[in-house]
Structures are given as structure tokens and as C-alpha cells.
Amino acid sequence: MAEKGVKVFGMWASPMAIRVEWALRLKGVDYEYIDEDLANKSDALLRYNPVTKKVPVLVHDGKPIAESTVIVEYVDEAWKDGYPIMPADPYERAQARFWARFAEDKCNAALYPVFTTTGDTQSEVVREAQRCLKTLETALEGKKFFGGDAVGYLDLVVGWYAHWLPVVEEASGATVVTDEELPLLKAWFDRFLAIDVVRATLPDRDRLLALNKARREQLLAA
Amino acid sequence: MAGGDELKLLGTWASPFALRVKLALGFKGLSYEDVEEDLKNKSDLLLSSNPVHKKVPVLIHNGKPVCESQIIVQYIDEAFAGTGPALLPSDPYERAIARFWAAYVDDKLLASWLQSFRGKTEEEKAEGLKQTLMAVENMEAAFKECSKGKPFFGGDSVGYLDVTLGALVSWMHAGEELYGFRLFDEARSPCLNAWVERFGALDVAKAVLPDAGKLVEYAKMRQAEAAAAAASNN
């Protein structure tokens, strides 16, 4: 019998996996969520994604798709009559994809060192991360969300910052997103976290903080 | 082509990323102004069109810039949906597979291949080579999965993934001459080996693929420049 339904292979603390959940929830699609232990990956995950072996993986009626941004676009196209995730205009779509790529390649790379450094080095990397986020913030100018009046693709791709960055800041003893430096982004954090489907799936903050504190200790000790 | 569409491509002759755009425009049958940038002396137009990265390629459509080669190719496919063949398949699942492998080409295949000869230490280069061989194996399987026995990743005619990977063909030939390593050799990857020749023989490809010999000269010149800069810094 053909496999039916939607499965998401993820990990509770993964920002990439949560994008997929947000996308499915915006579309009102029911799914089974399988939480993976990344140190002990399930046979099913390895079978569905033998190439990169990573989460998230979406399995739709038995057919697997990997790479969170690819999955989000797929969800938008497979359930095309539901909530519109990608902008309708090709130029706007190109802009959304551009900024998503920028955030993933540049901002994430600029943020990681905040987590792994201390003292003066950390202050320097914080400034670098802020510069990067300020560039991203230009995509928010004059709008409630990156997607305009309602959340869209880019909000889903960078939305994890709203919940994760304050936790990373607390674990690292640094502040990156402030009202002075990044007012638009900070305001957007609040608006994004107020969205029903977002609130419904966020990982427990205390648990996330404990995980990040432990990880930072481990990295600094190495 | 729709009336009043002005297309300008800012690129360089040696850039495989700019080449992706030329290939896409070629396969769609779209005419454009091809602007050759001097990367050592970037034009005001380039700097204002791509202020974030200041890189080529940039496609300027009726004055509006689009950046990042894969994003540009998807834009061309969407903005000119009525012109020429579609590059991405129409089925959402097949589109996702094409996008997955296109991302893989840049993030894994190209990244590890570059590391295999640009790595700073012998260990780095060896690791790069190991990753490259794994990536080639995966791409060979991807070709079988996507082509389903047909000549191209896109099936009977070229698609998004053919354009994404095809833009590297001249550099594959140049790389073989420079480093003695054929990326898609017959023993390891017979399907891709045949695909390289097949792709390169297409009229659209022949019109825009740079000459591998010229790329070899260019690479040697760049290596000499880098060596001279390193020497003068010591």
C-alpha cells in the first residue's frame, strides 16, 4: 500500500526544522513529527536522506525532500491553494530568495562567533554580526513583516532569530539585537512571535538556554 | 520576447556563474546586452546594482537588478514563463529535487572540488578530493534519478540542473588540463561523462561556453599573480 500523509523528520532545537513546521501549519496541513537524536540517527532518516543525512526531511506520500528552504518552497507549491508563502511577483520572489541566502550564508556565519568567543574578541564579532543584520534589516523597511502585511518565505527563513537569538545572547553574555542598533528587526521579533502558528511550535526556552549554555561551555573549554 | 523588455547582464567571460545566466537566456531564446566587467575596476552600475556583494553576475531587467546566479536563473524562468522552454519542471516534487541538487552543486560539489586544488595544506586538499569523489558519486546517482534514461537532467531537453552544472563544463576541461583530474571521468561517472560532451555540443552551449584553453591561461595568470603577491608580502 502506498505511504500516505506528511512526515517531518526534525530535531527539537533545529531552526531549519522549525521552518518546515511553520510552513505546514500556515497551510493547515497535518503532519507527523519525528524528533531525531542527531548522535544516533534513525534508519528511516538515513533511508530518506542518504545524501546529506541531515534534518529536516519532509516525506510527502512516501517521497522525501531535504534542505529546509527547498522544502518550504515545495510546501508552498504542493498546497498552492492555501496560505501564500512565496510572493506572487517574480521580482519579489527573487528578492526574498536573495535575502534568505544572505541570512543563511552571511548572517548565520557572522552570528556563530558571538557564541564561541569572549571579551574583546566577542565585542568585535558582535559589531560584525550587527553590521550583517543591519543589511538584512533593509529588507524590512516600511513593512510589518519581510513578506509585507503578512508573513512570507523570508519571515519563515529568518524567523528563528526571534526566538533563538535572545537565548544565544543570554547564553553568551552578549547583546546583538537592541532597540538602538536594530530597531526594525527588534520590533519584527515581537510581531513574528505573536503569530499563532509560530507560538504553537517554539521549543521550550529554558531547555534551549540550557542546551546553548552547555554547548558554549564545551566549545570554550576545547 | 515581450515588447519593451530590456535585459542587461553584468558578468565576466571566465565566470561560470555569469555563464549560468547566459545559458538560461540562450535556452529561453532571450536577447540581452552582455556587459563584461573588469573585476579589478568594478563599474558604478555593478556596485549600485549589487551593493551587498559587489559580485557578478547581475541581471538587470528593465532597470531592476537580480543577483546570485541560481536566483537569476529561476527569475528568468518565472518572469519569462511564456517564452521558450521551461527550465524547471512543472511538478512540485520534481522542482524540489532539481532545486536540492542545484544547491548541492554549489554547496558540496563545487566547494569540495575547489578545496581539492586550492586547499592551503596537503591535508585540506586530500580532504577536498575525498569529498569531491563522494559528491561525484551522488551527482551520478542524481543524473540517473532525474534523467530517467533520457539525455539530460531535465529529460529530453535541458532543465535547471543542466544549466546549473553545465556552466562548469569549460572549467571541468580546464581543471583536467591544469591538475590532471577529470571531474566526471568515464570510470567513476559514465553517465555524467557522456552528459558533459552532450551538453557541450548543444548550439546554445557552444555559443557561450568559454574556450577551456583560455581558461587554463587565465588560471595560470591568476596563480602567478597570487604567488607574486604572497612573495612580496613576506
Of the residues B5, B60, B100, the best mutation for testing chain A's interface (the one with the most A CB atoms within 10 Å of its CB) is B100
**Which pLDDT band, with edges at 50, 70 and 90, does B226 fall under?**
confident
Block residue for cell numbers 588560471 = B219
CA B111 to the chain's CA centroid: 13
Q: What is the pLDDT of residues B135-168, one digit of tens each?
A: 999 999 999 999 999 999 999 999 999 999 999 9
pLDDT of residue B204: 98
CB contact under 8 A, A51 and B138: yes
Q: What is the pLDDT of residues A84-103, one digit of tens each?
A: 999 999 999 999 999 999 99
pLDDT one digit per residue (tens) for chain A, 222 residues = 578 999 999 999 999 999 999 999 999 999 999 999 999 999 999 999 999 999 999 999 999 999 999 999 999 999 999 999 999 999 999 999 999 999 999 999 999 999 999 999 999 999 999 999 999 999 999 999 999 999 999 999 999 999 999 999 999 999 999 999 999 999 999 999 999 999 999 999 999 999 999 999 999 998
Distance, CA of B61 to CA of B49 (rounded, Å):
11
| % chain B with pLDDT above 90 | 92
Whether residue B4 is predicted with pLDDT greater than 80 in this model: the reply is no
Whats the size of chain A, residue-wise? Answer: 222
CB contact under 8 A, A94 and B138: no
**Which pLDDT band, with edges at 50, 70 and 90, does B110 fall under?**
very high
pLDDT of residue B3: 57
CB contact under 8 A, B99 and A70: yes
Of the candidates A66, A78, A90, the beta carbon closest to that of B100 is on: A66
A78 touches chain B (CB under 8 A): yes
Q: Which residue of A has its CA nearest to B69?
A: A98
Instruction: Specify whether the CB–CB gap between B129 and B137 falls below 8 A.
Output: no
Q: What is the pLDDT of residues A3-20, one digit of tens each?
A: 899 999 999 999 999 999
Distance, CA of B77 to CA of B161 (rounded, Å):
13
CB contact under 8 A, B93 and A74: yes
CB-based contacts of B187, cutoff 8 Å, min separation 6: none
Distance, CA of B123 to CA of B120 (rounded, Å):
8
> Concatenated DSSP letters for A1-34?
----SEEEEE-TT-HHHHHHHHHHHHHT---EEE
Whether residue B1 is predicted with pLDDT greater than 70 in this model: the reply is no
The count of other CB atoms within 10 Å of the CB of residue B82 is: 8
**Rounded to whole angstroms, what are the CA distances from B113 to B19, B132, B200?**
18, 5, 20
Distance, CA of A12 to CA of A108 (rounded, Å):
19
pTM over 0.90: yes
Handedness of CA B47, B48, B52, B56 (dihedral sign): negative
**Which pLDDT band, with edges at 50, 70 and 90, does B230 fall under?**
confident
Whether residue B130 is predicted with pLDDT greater than 70 in this model: the reply is yes
Contacts of A92 in chain B (CB under 8 A): none
Per the prediction, chain B carries an average pLDDT of 95
